[in-house]
Structure 1
Amino acid sequence: MPKAKTPKPPDSLEVRVRRIHRRDLNRTWEFLKLVFRDVNRETVEYQRPRSKRRFLEVYTSEWIEQLLYEVDGSIVGYSECAFEATGDDNWVNPRWFEKRGMRPLFVEELAVHPDYQGRGVGSFMLDQLQHLARTRGCTHLVLEVAENNESALTWYRTRSFYKLDAAIFMAQKVPGEPDLLPPRRLKRRQKPTAETGTPSTGPMPETAPTRAAARKGARPRRGRRAAEAAQASHEAAARDSERRRPTQHFGVVQAG
């Protein structure tokens, strides 16, 4: 069964522009994924891909315009611009433009459906942004393009865009080293002394006498007590023997 062919856009187009509505967010996100799928893969690998959460947050942000460009109700283009450099992830310094007398309109997104490129949709979108900038008192359109996106650079240069030289991304190679040191061989085990304590504990503390040493030191005292007890027992036995011996009477003889 042959594949169904994608219908080609008609020769005569009428593109309309309007502000985005909440009901358009999901299909606009799918449109952006389609448009930037190949661009992000080939030209802007260094950039962080935009998340859907961030895209939805933009809808509620102030000073940001999101415009849809439609043909017969189908999205063929999307533009997003900001009147101020907002957001925590924004690297733009507004003072750089102030010192040069510039009041820029920052073009954050400019996307055209692949089937409608080369038919004037992009030029109409750029004219719309120029008109919006004039009505808001802005003096310049400012946008960012990847240096290796040659087709986009050519398209913008033919429409009087020029390089600002405001910022150049530079890098320096850092020699690779592991975060953790390699294994280290330990010294042979030594008997600890008072002078060779480990760094975590300091000198070896004086230890209390062990129980065995206490018993060993107590032996002389226990020996003296035993000797004294033996001597006392011997003396008591001698006295008892004297009591049991027969009594002898000595007379006094008077000399005549």
Structure 2
Amino acid sequence: MQLRPFQESDTESVIALWELCGLTRPWNDPHLDIQRKLTVQRELFVVGVEDGDLVASAMAGYDGHRGWVNYLAVHPGSRGRGYGRALMEELERMLADRGCPKLNLQVRADNEQAIAFYRALGYVPDAAVALGKRLIAD
């Protein structure tokens, strides 16, 4: 797999991947999520390509205090090959290069497979409660 920055022509393939991986939700329009990301640190939106097919993606961001990862996805047929790990290592490197001291991410509590994946990479639960407030309805 080769990693590269997201390109606008990847949009439909990325959304199809997110849907296949169960990452989309009715209250988050994936087209808008992509458009918004492209206005802020677009270089931290990375995709993985294998034999011309888009098989992985992840978005990251850094606010000067913490880094965040969203929409990490690996095509089910490409899992077990280290692609998720490679994506995370690349994002960690990119964030560390910006001086980011800590990387946070959120995983739905019932997604045991994802939790196990991140634990294997050294991520541990923080003693924190995630709160959210919708500012713009999609």
TM-score normalized by the length of structure 1: 0.47
Aligned to 1:83: 62
Q: Unpaired runs of 5+ in structure 2?
A: 132-138
Q: 1:58 to 1:168 in 2, by over 3 A?
A: closer
Q: 1:53 to 1:126 in 2, by over 3 A?
A: closer
* Distance in 2 of aligned mates of 1:69 and 1:123: 12
Q: 1:48 to 1:163 in 2, by over 3 A?
A: farther
The residue correspondences of 1:112-123 to structure 2 (distance < 5 A) are: 112-123=74-85
Aligned to 1:61: 39
The 4+ residue runs of structure 1 with deviation greater than 4 A are none
SS at match of 1:119: coil
* Distance in 2 of aligned mates of 1:54 and 1:33: 15
* Distance in 2 of aligned mates of 1:148 and 1:76: 24
Aligned to 2:125: 163
* Distance in 1 of aligned mates of 2:26 and 2:92: 28
Structure 2 residue 106 is matched with structure 1 residue 128: no
Q: Unpaired runs of 5+ in structure 1?
A: 1-14, 41-46, 85-93, 95-102, 170-256
| Greater C-alpha radius of gyration | 1
Q: Which structure is higher in strand share?
A: 2
Q: Which moved more, 1:146-155 or 1:59-68?
A: 59-68
Is the 8 Å Cα contact of residues 47 and 54 (structure 2) preserved in structure 1? yes
TM-score normalized by the length of structure 2: 0.82
Cα deviation 1:156-184 (Å, max 9, x = unaligned): 11221111122157xxxxxxxxxxxxxxx
Is the 8 Å Cα contact of residues 11 and 31 (structure 2) preserved in structure 1? no
Q: 1:133 to 1:59 in 2, by over 3 A?
A: closer
**Letter aligned with residue 76 of structure 1:** V
* Distance in 1 of aligned mates of 2:130 and 2:45: 28
* Distance in 2 of aligned mates of 1:33 and 1:69: 16
**Letter aligned with residue 79 of structure 1:** A
Q: 1:124 to 1:53 in 2, by over 3 A?
A: closer
* Distance in 2 of aligned mates of 1:60 and 1:130: 19
User: Displacement of 1:67 after TM fit?
Assistant: 0.6
* Distance in 2 of aligned mates of 1:168 and 1:77: 26
Structure 2 residue 14 is matched with structure 1 residue 34: no
* Distance in 2 of aligned mates of 1:60 and 1:109: 14
* Distance in 2 of aligned mates of 1:56 and 1:125: 18
**Letter aligned with residue 128 of structure 1:** E
User: Displacement of 1:50 after TM fit?
Assistant: 2.4
**Letter aligned with residue 57 of structure 1:** Q
* Distance in 2 of aligned mates of 1:136 and 1:126: 15
The residue correspondences of 1:84-233 to structure 2 (distance < 5 A) are: 84=63, 103-167=65-129
Query: Aligned-pair RMSD on alpha carbons?
Result: 2.1
Aligned-residue sequence identity (percent) comes to: 22
